Structure 1
């Protein structure tokens, strides 16, 4: 375990320590930014720094007001002793570190299990043994619901539509049905987090998340398909589509996700031990092809597509029903699909030299990318 050079002093009057595993990544860095605005909070990031862009995220965080209260420790959730050490003084733990790709889980199921299932177990044990009973929030996935065969769909234009007029999204009563090694590893972790709340009274919350998008994504294909599509279209690169491209997802701006995390924490007396489905909901749902066509229209760039077989367990339609979280906390998403895509585009304008797609291949669009979905 290594303390990264350039982290701030911890002797600054902060009264509580918040641990973010995977805190140098996309969601973690946005969460850390928010937590640094709380003057009594010491933010401790624990990350193995393996993903593209994380060093840029850390440099950005260290430039923010409050960065004297930021501590960055390089380490891996597969190291139980290291996790125990970084969690020993934490009053809140946001467990975001994960292997995030279905395709990678199929190629290397052992690593997928070790990171997602065993890594989460290490975090839970560290929280239990610390004696502090910290608030623990775990980011799970909609993949724990499997392929959702019980929801009949049909293709309408370029998207799947639920046949039932009463469909309002997938809620937490949906039966669990783990597909793919990724679904299994995240599902096992999901259930461990819930059971530690029951057995050990650990104040924990599970977010089963749909598509999260926004700034601080660096164009990795296996994480953040919206950003990956936008950057690839601007670069004139070929995009791989798994299946027919009619798959529908609801998209949530990462700042709305951070709002939800803070809402769950602030209402912990009600949210503890609960699981919540989280995404953009019915008003922010869009298919893969609809997203690509909108990006094509707004950028003036032609699409280059390559089709492959659908991935195991891929859901034709997934839209989150967020009514439970709204009822427990009052949270609602505030940013539209168009605002989310605009935020990604602005991030590219400011960071195109750091993004995975080479900047010299990218054609500048005529105007700001924007998108609205009826």
Structure 2
């Protein structure tokens, strides 16, 4: 019996569909309402919250495997406390509940953000900063709240492993998939569809949601590996190229005006002030404004070696996402 958290999220939706397609019995957590996903009627739904330690423990009755996909992705200053509650305290509750039921295997969706940015010395070297599973978190460096929350969440998993929990983690880069395009990375496709003029220079590391699910399922259900984490990234792509390919798929005009660094610095400061005055989430933050300026490469050779296959090409993933969004009536 398999338990899934975060079933309404991008990874969770595709994970549930894969598990149901395999004919596996699945129980999943939902907070307010059961998500509208294709596999919903084949899932045993339990209302609850990973932040509710007692309720979550009860939900694991009879469970053999747990996939922890729930998490908050945000760079808004207003969400810093919530990032700690969901990504750190929530993960600690999952770990503690699993420890109470010996024999459970745990698969955790972390992030490359938990790797940090490498050492300060590496950042000064020419060429891209190369990060992998062995990268050490630089305690003396400046980290944004999201990265810190994912790093601290991983520490909770390592704590569980030290106490006997069988667990593996995957660290995907930005995940692409056709889902709610008002949330997560799918907003990139909406941005291209709406024919905005501007884009920020720089590149973004990406991976197909199907590859994330394949790796997570394989590692959790079909191996006995524990105490390991795996970087999942198909490679880097200039943001302009991604938006241009998406716009072409939608038959829309692609963004054509690059936002210079000085303008991005002004915009995020104005957005910060606006968010303080209105309480609304800023459209751009300091972290998103500066993302991609320093080239970063994530080495994913470990998962390639152990699973014996490569990631889907990014151009194929973008085409698939656009076609799915159009066929689902989202991009109309």
TM-score, reference length from structure 2: 0.81
Q: CA deviation at 1:232?
A: 2.5
Query: Partner residue of 1:141?
Result: 111
Query: Partner residue of 2:317?
Result: 340
| Maintained 8 Å contact 2:243/2:254 | no
Matched, 1:228 2:225: no
Alignment of 1:38-117 (within 5 A): 38-39=22-23, 41-49=24-32, 55-57=35-37, 60-62=38-40, 67=42, 70-103=43-76, 106-117=77-88
CA 1:344 to 1:275, structure 2 compared with 1: closer, same or farther past 3 Å?
same
Deviant stretches of 4+, over 6 Å: none
Q: 1:268 aligns to what SS in structure 2?
A: coil
Distance 1:208 1:76 in 2: 23
| Maintained 8 Å contact 1:203/1:268 | no
Query: Partner residue of 2:271?
Result: none
Distance 2:160 2:297 in 1: 28
Q: CA deviation at 1:78?
A: 0.7
| Maintained 8 Å contact 1:277/1:320 | yes
- Per-residue Cα deviation, 1:247-298 (whole angstroms, up to 9, x for no partner): x2232111111111122124532x21111111113xxx20222222333455
CA 1:98 to 1:301, structure 2 compared with 1: closer, same or farther past 3 Å?
same
Q: CA deviation at 1:196?
A: 1.2
Q: CA deviation at 1:126?
A: 0.5
Question: What runs of 5+ residues in structure 2 fail to find an aligned partner?
Answer: 269-284
Distance 1:259 1:331 in 2: 11
Query: Partner residue of 1:218?
Result: 180
CA 1:89 to 1:328, structure 2 compared with 1: closer, same or farther past 3 Å?
same
| Maintained 8 Å contact 1:145/1:176 | yes
CA 1:62 to 1:192, structure 2 compared with 1: closer, same or farther past 3 Å?
closer
Q: CA deviation at 1:184?
A: 1.5
Query: Partner residue of 1:257?
Result: 212
Q: CA deviation at 1:125?
A: 0.6
Q: CA deviation at 1:108?
A: 2.5
Q: 1:347 aligns to what SS in structure 2?
A: helix
Matched, 1:188 2:142: no
Q: 1:77 aligns to what SS in structure 2?
A: coil
Q: CA deviation at 1:325?
A: 1.9
Match of 2:228 among 250, 256, 274: 274
Distance 1:91 1:331 in 2: 27
Query: Partner residue of 2:238?
Result: 287
CA 1:37 to 1:93, structure 2 compared with 1: closer, same or farther past 3 Å?
same
Distance 2:222 2:145 in 1: 33
Distance 2:47 2:95 in 1: 19
Match of 1:318 among 269, 272, 296: 296
- Per-residue Cα deviation, 1:184-232 (whole angstroms, up to 9, x for no partner): 211111111122112x2211011122011122x21125x11xx322222
Q: CA deviation at 1:118?
A: 0.5
CA 1:342 to 1:181, structure 2 compared with 1: closer, same or farther past 3 Å?
same
- Per-residue Cα deviation, 1:134-183 (whole angstroms, up to 9, x for no partner): 111111111123344544589xxxxxxx627xx7x421121214712211
Matched, 1:204 2:167: yes
- Per-residue Cα deviation, 1:33-68 (whole angstroms, up to 9, x for no partner): 1111223x2111112258xxx7332xx1136xxx2x
Distance 2:146 2:73 in 1: 8
Distance 2:32 2:326 in 1: 24
TM-score, reference length from structure 1: 0.72
Query: Partner residue of 2:97?
Result: 126
**Equivalent pairs, count:** 301
Query: Partner residue of 2:134?
Result: 173
| Maintained 8 Å contact 2:28/2:44 | yes
